[in-house]
Chains A and B, each alone.
Chain A
């Protein structure tokens, strides 16, 4: 079956570092995505991992371990505007379907 797990909520302090974990069990794997979604808005793309290891993009980094079915999103130097929901999504197979299976999201609250 398909299962993507991530914590429901997290709280962190402005300027700190936070790590949001995601574990997945899917029938196939062809990439893992992280999206950011502010309340009432559309999800926006943050990162993509298809091979094991760390991908860094500014204050955001994402890590993937395919053997463990595990990924994390690391946010550094947190800002108030980082308060949002973070969605982990897995693409099960290649080809044209480009179907993403989404987790339910982690709501991050950044406090002063």
Chain B
């Protein structure tokens, strides 16, 4: 089954404790991206990757890091989480160029930072 898988789905952590949210897709998509969703603000892009070893900042990259060592994986790293990073996070992937570029989303990771 074609899918984007995120882990963990739910996490409660404390300020400053490094964490990683993993994202994996099995559709051989070149493009992957992380979004956060907050009430009243909609989905905002954090980082994106056009292919292996190619990443770039989205609209709200502060406090986050990413890496793309393999095509299928795109982990989101919070080196020192703060309460303002409490949010619902979505990983998404798509083919690039030559088609609609429809984004396929993972099921989301709800993060609470105390």
Which A residues are closer than 8 A to B by beta carbons?
31, 33, 40-45, 48, 50, 87, 89, 91, 94-100, 102-105
Contacts and interface: CB of A to CB of B under 8 A. Distances in A.
Contacts, number: 61
18 contacts: A33-B102, A41-B108, A42-B90, A42-B106, A42-B108, A43-B90, A45-B102, A87-B42, A89-B43, A91-B101, A95-B97, A96-B96, A97-B50, A98-B31, A98-B96, A100-B43, A104-B41, A105-B42
B74 interface: no
B45 A99 contact: yes
Contacts of A45: 102-104
Contacts of A42: 90, 105-108
A99 B48 contact: yes
A102 B43 contact: yes
Interface residues of B, number: 28
B42 A104 contact: yes
A33 B94 CA distance: 14
Contacts of B105: 42-44
Given A41-B108, A42-B108, A97-B48, A102 B102 contact: no
Contacts of A91: 101
Contacts of B50: 96-97
B14 to A, nearest CB: 24
Scoring B40, B103, B106 by chain A CB atoms within 10 A of each residue's CB, the highest score goes to B103
A99 B58 contact: yes
A55 to B, nearest CB: 11
Given A33-B102, A48-B102, A98 B94 contact: yes
Interface string B28-67: 0011010100001111110010110000101000000000
